[in-house]
A and B are shown apart, each in its own frame.
Chain A
Amino acid sequence: MIYVNGRPVDPGERPTIRDVLLAIDIDPDRAGIAVAVDSEVARRGAWPTQIVDEGAHVEIVTATQGG
């Protein structure tokens, strides 16, 4: 189990960041999103290969309205 934006998600064995995004129905090719794994920013180029460890906390953010 890993935690994506605070919610438990089971993306299968040794998921990449790309796998995690797909598991919660987010298009990995979508512009304007960024990912942090355990508070470290994961560059987009690493998403297809970087493995997300069991128990990791993944944050996926985008731009929203704000001053």
Chain B
Amino acid sequence: MTATESNCEGIQVEDTDEIVREFLTESQENLDQLDRDLVALEADPSSAALLQSVFRTIHTIKGTSGFLGFGDLESLTHVGESLLAKMRDGSLTLTQERATALLELVDAVRATLESIAATGAEDPTDRSALVRRISDLQAEVPGVPPSDPSEPVTEAAPAAKPAGEALRVGEILQNNEIVDDTDVAVAVIEQQLGDDRPLGEILIAHGHATPGQVADALAVQESARSNALGGGPNGATPFHVGADASLRVDVNLLDTLMRLVGELVLTRNQIVATATTQAEPAMLRSSQRLNLLVSELQAGVMKTRMQPIDTIWSKLPRVVRDLGVTCGKEVRLVLQGRETELDKTILEAIKDPLTHVVRNAVDHGIESPDVRRAAGKDPEGQLTLRAFHEGGQVNIEIDDDGAGIDPAKIAAKALGSGLVTAEQLRAMGPREVVNLIFEPGFSTAEAVTNVSGRGVGMDVVRTNVEKIGGTVDVVSELGILTSLRIKIPLTLAIIPALTVECAGERYAVPQVSLEELLCVEGDRARAAVEYLSGAPVFRLRGSLLPLVWLDHVLDLTEGPHVDDAVYILVLQADGRRFGLVVDRVLNTEEIVVKPLSRQLKGIGTYAGATILGDGRVALILDVRALARRAHVVSEGDSLSTAQTRDSEAAKPDGPEPLLIVAVGPRRVGVPLSMVTRLEEIPGASIEYAGQRELVQYRGNLLPLTRLSNLLGVPSEVGSERLKVIVYSQGQRSVGLIVDAVLDIANEAPRSRGDVHEYGVSGMAVVQERVTELLDMEQAITAADPQFFIAIAAADAADVSAYDNYAQIGA
């Protein structure tokens, strides 16, 4: 044998050893879990998750042992797997007998593994009996008791039974007509023959009684016994399968575990990163396994920290009642979604802000019964707390049907205290104004009472919520309601994120904010980015997506630039969408959020930092803050569909001209750039295709929609001559029927507000009149549902199709 050969062999043996060792370690852990899972499964045979977990574990051991050539182990686990498979597909249930057999199988596997660990080979014990038994258990009918009914019946009980026993379990079961005396007798004989299991268990094993029935019988026995002792329920724990399943654990321990899991996740990421670059199959395999295990561990540990929100809500009824009495108010507290679970740390963090908000709502939101009666409201105010999960976040809404918040008062106050300038105020929508209550230093002093002052502490509420990565927003309708909406992450420690590259550094973007990823390459990249008064936008399925270059917003470059490919992350912040342009999109991974040091907290654009797979630090972007910094989320900018403009023809800074039309009693503004022509058509020329109205128009069919229908208002128009706004893009056109064309407004809308109404994208004051801004996308889709789909398809063929709109003809 040459030196080289022996060398090679040495490596191979070593490799196998390595795998075996790993298999042993891994299986050891799995077996312990299997024990627990099986017992839990027995208590709750309907749990698909537990069954799945048991099945998976056995399956893994089987697979690996087959791979490593441990034949006995493989055949052993194989029968177990087959049995479990039948349970999984529902053709068998987990009887106690089967559970016992499976547990014995676990023991056998464990013994085999120990032998492998000690000697390197499977132990020679013959397991064929067990294998046969498990195979037999796969029969449809559960095993019949091995007892012979002709055996003599003896009425006896072991003397070892505790004294003071009122009734025997067997007797109770007999009384309940679950078992007959023969069954009990057989069981008793078995006990006398040396079976040290309790009678109930033997009966269950024989299939005469179910665990539930025995549990009931034991409970009866227990209460009878304690009654007999004159004790009542004196702390004697009733037999309950689930009771022992919970355990008190020190929170500090959980915190430590959580931290460790966090570190483990990091290490896992590093290992997985290394393993994928080195194509060592063994390493790759174990790293994948590690990956899986750590994810499960992480989920498990995270789960231990979850508590229902009711743990902090449960104190609120009392708070509200007491406060109501103090302030002379009648308040009905409604709690919805009490079972919504949150990480303990987060619960702690929102406890005080939540109480504060509730106090505020009772003290200032809800009026006194007299005032309410005078306003025609129910004298009893209602305070509703709602909690629910949505998009990986927990939403908590605190609504009161009280007086609401007056934006005018808030504005005056904010101006008076120098919080904002008159100019800033003018640029704000009412919702933004109301949200000024969260600014530090804002206090409507006249409203301060000894209970709470609206404004005092609202900044603390926001600070606390933001500290845990949440957001808070207030919506109010004067005289009707105030609604405070808090959004918080489920957990703080580990979040799924997308890693991207920008200007040579990597950044992590929390996936919560990520809606989609777009990549436009080559010549299309340059065409895809258009400019709207100098602001770059991208057309995303017919609506305009404002674009923000990450390197630009971080002051790393001068301005927007279009390279060979544009990678756009469509992000959502504060209910608005924007596109973040990055250099490269790298990966999605679970990242551990590390807090920022004091030096960096003030910057605001980062939510934290994390350590990536290669050990380098990456900053986690704070999407909201980025949006704010890039000015894409100000109420002043309506970034909805309607505002499009031909980039060449438009004056760079002028306001968007609006075509003002009447639809029923409403004034509606349509961006002039979305008006290709205005036409008048005779009502008689309308034809129908199903429910849809259309006219023949310039040799094509023009689908029509009546804006009155879209907006749900009665139409005041006759049927002779219909006014139609025609919008064309490429080869497709749609017609929007309006009641009358009123004017073209060139002035800038004075203020804009949010509306949440179908067909309307916003509201503005134009020519001193409230004008609703038509949501062109919805209007066009109403006329022709295929419009944008067809355009997108045409786009793929011909980018220049965009160019023929914005001509106006009347």
Tell me whether A and B are bound partners: no
Chain A positions within 8 Å of B, measured between CB atoms, are none
Chain B positions within 8 Å of A, measured between CB atoms, are none
